[in-house]
Structures are given as structure tokens and as C-alpha cells.
Amino acid sequence: MADLPLSERHAVQRHRFMQQVPAIMAIVLICCAVAVLVIAPLCAVLYRAVFDADAGTPSVTGRYFAEVLGKRIYWDALGNTLFVSGGAAMIATLLGVSFAWIFERTDTWMRGVLQWISQLPIFIPPFVGAVAWALLAAPRSGIMNRLLAALGLPGVLDVYSRWGMLMVIGLYLAPYVMMIVAAALRSMDPSLEEAAQVCGLTPLQTMRRITIPLLTPAVLSGAVLAFTIAIGLFGTPVVLGWSRQILMLTSRIWIGSQEVPPNYGVMAVLSIYLLALSSFTTWLQRVLIGKRVYTTISGKGFRPRLVELGAWRWATGALAALYVVSTILAPIAILIAAALSRYTWSGEYSFTTAIGYLQSDDVWFTLQNSVLISVVSATAATLAGIVIAWIVVRTRLRGKGLLEYVILLPISMPGIAFGVGMLLFWINVPLSVYGTTLIIVFAFVGRFTAYAVRSVSASLIQVHPELEESARVCGYGPLRTFTQITLPLIRASVIAAWLLLFSFFMTELSMVVILYTAADRTFSVLAFEAWNVGDFSRLASYSLLQMAVGIVFMAILKTCFRSWSAPRSMQPVTPN
């Protein structure tokens, strides 16, 4: 380039700059969005923890920290949170990784149907799943314990305990881990697994020595995701732990919000606890991954092959079927029975009862509003997650690590705390956001974009940069290189991220209950109102309708993007 005339050098430099403009604009827009949607609510929570605004004039105070550190109830809540969330994350990771491998890499009996059904828990609101399990495994009135007593066996199932809580939470978090790991498996070249089996390793040994080590980024992402979801859950801990006062940090935050006036200072301090736990797990994940290379996709095309299990395909199919029955079919059966009953366990069942609950115009207006908010929020959060994951994994931008940490912080905050932060910020901004649907969309995108970042970055790490470098050599700009080379290889993770976010938004309650108005009420709020007054029959009807909508959306996306589920052989890149 030094040998070119000055005018031609300037033209080349302008051309290169224009190619970089889309990437620069994307980075600037993302940074502005993160500042408004993430940093501002977090700062509002931090501000409230150290400033006393109750007296009118804000003043620095340490009384909220002193109150939390000085009372045993908050230490007990912290211990319960660590025990229940840690145990639930371990169960979810074990089940999620196992089922992802069974469904994606083996010829398990009815694996397609079982995989589809096993994703249904993500469309069941957590507090509704907890109610279903309370009806199933309550010490005295649970159906399962009654059946055991009828058979002359002691009823040993107790869902109202720490072990019961972590089992229920872990079982319902397993599909989230499975979706992330399954997307990574679909993008992974199976030649190493085939070579291991040629050398005499059994399928189980191949999975333990080859597959799982290569999936370390996805497995760790799923485990951290499960833990951060667990520590931020509100509905399940309240439903299962309230009767015996087994309260977690989120339960204590909700109790603070119910005081008159609300104890925002203590809520903020407890939220900081959760932020610290999330930051520690994220740091631990980065340390465990270290600087090791996990590239499994290169310029060489491949076609994944299934592992033939022989007679074991029936055993793995039975295991998956047992999971489906125990965590999905049985709770759904309980919900159907409750929906058809005039009141809980009345013994009188009729379809007219369930249909009557769903004929209200308010129900369908609320459902339409929920679907619209969920689709818009999931699309916006997925697009933001793609850009942020690309910045973190593919660029040398200074501060990208800080950007990743900031975007991950909200996922550890309970929805109530983040909702309060969003409320405190936008209520003082001279824009018409508070009291509209837009504030719910902003809250969803700000808090949940991190899930898209985790899902996409886990697959982006596996795509070798040589593919993008080859496109650059052929004259492609950064935007065209990403859309035509990188994006097709990570489509599976993008679709999984969108489905994950859509399921979150359709069932999110704790954050919406702070921000909603009558004009933008979501379906989760409608179901919570039914639970709050003890109308379990109405609650069951709403939950079944909500789950049906999620299933329809998932089926449509699976059909439309079936051809995108695995990367194709690379085609030659031709310049313009």
C-alpha cells in the first residue's frame, strides 16, 4: 500500500473505514442501550442501598447494611439460597447434559418426541409448577403420598423441605441446560467421537472423555445459567417454603416489598448479595475455561452421526420417558384435573368449568398482550445478545470483559428488585415510558439479554476464525461476513436463545408485578391473581392455556427452522 499514490491510499483507507462503520455503529448503540437498560436500574438499586431517601433529603447511611448483617433471618435466607440453588444447579446440569447427549447423539427410542416433550417445562410458570408439585407430593394431602398410603407404604415424599425445593427447581431447570448443550452438540464435529469409538472406547467412555470436555463452555454456561436462575426464583421458593418458613433471599425481598412503606433499602442490600453470587460464578466459569481452545468447527464440512446404543436405546428411552412422566405429564394431569373441577378436589369435573374461565374478553386481551410483549422483547434481546457475544468473542475491544460482566449482572437479581430499579429510574425521566408497555419491554431486554449472550457465545467460540478471515480476504466486510458466514453456523444457538427468552417472558411474574398497569397486564399476572385468592381451578385453566400458546410457538419455530438446526457444508466464498 505504501507504493500506491497518495490519492489511492486515501481511497483504500476510506473504503476500509466504510466497511467498519456498521460494526462501529452497532458497538455504540449497544453501549448506549446497556447504559440505559442495565446500568441505570442497577445504579438505582445501589443508590437506594446506601442513601436514606425516606426523610425527604437523601443522605448517606449504613443502617440498611447493618440491619441485614445484624439479623439472623437474613443469614438463614442466604444459607437456604446457597443450598437450594447450588443443589438445583447440580441436578439440572446432570440431567440437562445427559438428555442433550441422548437426544442429539444417540438412536434412543422415540428420541424426537421425547426431546420435544421434555422442553415443555420452560412454558410452565415456576409458581404454577410449584403448586402442581405441592398437590402431588405434599406430606399429608399429596396424591403420590396418598397412593403410597393406599398400598400400605409410608408416605415419605415431602416437597415442603429444602431437599424437596431443590429437587423441584432442578427438574424444571434441566431443559434450559439441555437446550444450550444440545445446540453446541449440533454444531460440533463428531469426527473425534467416531475416532474414539474406532479405538475401542464404548459410547459412555466416548461421552465422558471426548464429548463432555469439548462441550465444557456450553456445560459451564448451562450450569451458571441454572444457578443464576435458581437464586433469582421467586414463585417456587414462596409456594414451597412459606408453610415452614424456609425462605430464600428472594422471599425476603418480597416480604420487604409488602411492608408499608416498602423497605427498599433492605431489598437493595439483599439484591447486592445476589449480584455478588452471580459475579463469583461468572468469574469461576472464566477461570475453569481459562485459555484452552475448544474449536470444533473449521472449514471442513461434516455430517453428525448417531451413536448406535443397541439394546441400551430402550433403557435411555425409558429414562427419558420417566423424566417426562414425573416432571411434565403428572403435573399437567393434576392441572387438568384442577381445571375441570368446580373447586379444588371437589370430585365434580366438567369441561364447562374450564371453558367458562377462558371465555372472558379480559383473558384473551391479556393473552394477546403477553404474546406481543414476549415476541418483541425476545427478538430485541436476541439481536442484542448476538452483537454483544460477537464483541466479546471476536473483537479486541478494550473493556469487552467489563461489558460482559455488566450485561450478566441483572440475571442474578430477583425480578422484584430489578423491577424496582427500573421503576425508580424511569419515573424520574421526562419521557413517557413509565406506565406503558414499553417499560416492561425495556425491563425484559435489560434483565434477560444475558441469556442470549451465553447461548450464542458458547457456539461462537466453536467457530474457527479462519472462516471469517477467508471471507475478509475475498473482500467481505464485517457485517456481510457475519451474516453470510458466521450466523449460519450459530443459527441453532440463536433459535435456542429466542425460544428460551420467549418462554421467560411468557411466564415472568416477579418483575412485571411491579411495572404493569391495567392496560398492559400480562398473563402471568392474571394467573398470579387467581393463585393469590386461592382459586386453583381458575389458575390451572390459565396455566394450561398459557402452556398451549408456548407449545404452538415452539412447534412453529421447529418446523420453520428445521433446515437450520445443523450447519451445512461450507460453500466457496466469492467476492463481489
Q: DSSP letter string over 445-466?
A: HHHHHHHHHHHHHHHHTTB-HH
32 located within any domain: yes
pLDDT digits (tens, 9 = 90+) for 187-238: 676 677 677 777 777 767 776 777 777 777 888 888 888 888 888 888 788 8
Report whether pLDDT(88) > 90: yes
Total tally of structural domains belonging to the chain: 1
573 located within any domain: no
pLDDT at residue 445 in the model: 92
416 located within any domain: yes
Report whether pLDDT(376) > 90: yes
Could you tell me the CATH number of the domain that includes residue 234? 1.10.3720.10
569 located within any domain: no
Answer whether 142's CB lies under 8 Å from 133's CB: no
Q: Which of 371, 359, 352, 453 is nearest to 406 (CA)?
A: 453
65 located within any domain: yes
pLDDT at residue 360 in the model: 78
pLDDT digits (tens, 9 = 90+) for 317-333: 888 888 888 778 888 88
pLDDT digits (tens, 9 = 90+) for 417-451: 788 788 878 877 778 888 888 999 999 999 888 88
150 located within any domain: yes
What angle, rounded to 10 degrees, do the helices at 72-105 and 162-186 form?
40
CA 169 to each of CA 87, 133, 159: distance values in angstroms, whole numbers, following the listed order: 9, 11, 11
154/64 Cα distance (integer angstroms) = 47
Mean pLDDT over 152-172 rounds to 84
Domain that holds residue 208: 6-290+305-564
pLDDT at residue 3 in the model: 59
401 located within any domain: yes
196 located within any domain: yes
pLDDT at residue 8 in the model: 61
Answer whether 459's CB lies under 8 Å from 296's CB: no
Report whether pLDDT(304) > 70: no
Report whether pLDDT(381) > 70: yes
471/491 Cα distance (integer angstroms) = 19
What is the model's pTM? 0.73
pLDDT at residue 7 in the model: 62
pLDDT digits (tens, 9 = 90+) for 25-65: 767 787 788 888 888 888 888 888 888 876 667 778 888 88
pLDDT at residue 151 in the model: 76
Percentage of residues in the chain having pLDDT higher than 70: 82
How far, rounded to the nearest angstrom, does the alpha carbon of residue 209 sit from its chain's CA centroid? 28
Question: What mean pLDDT, rounded, does the chain reach?
Answer: 78
Element (H, E) at 47: helix 40-50
475/19 Cα distance (integer angstroms) = 10
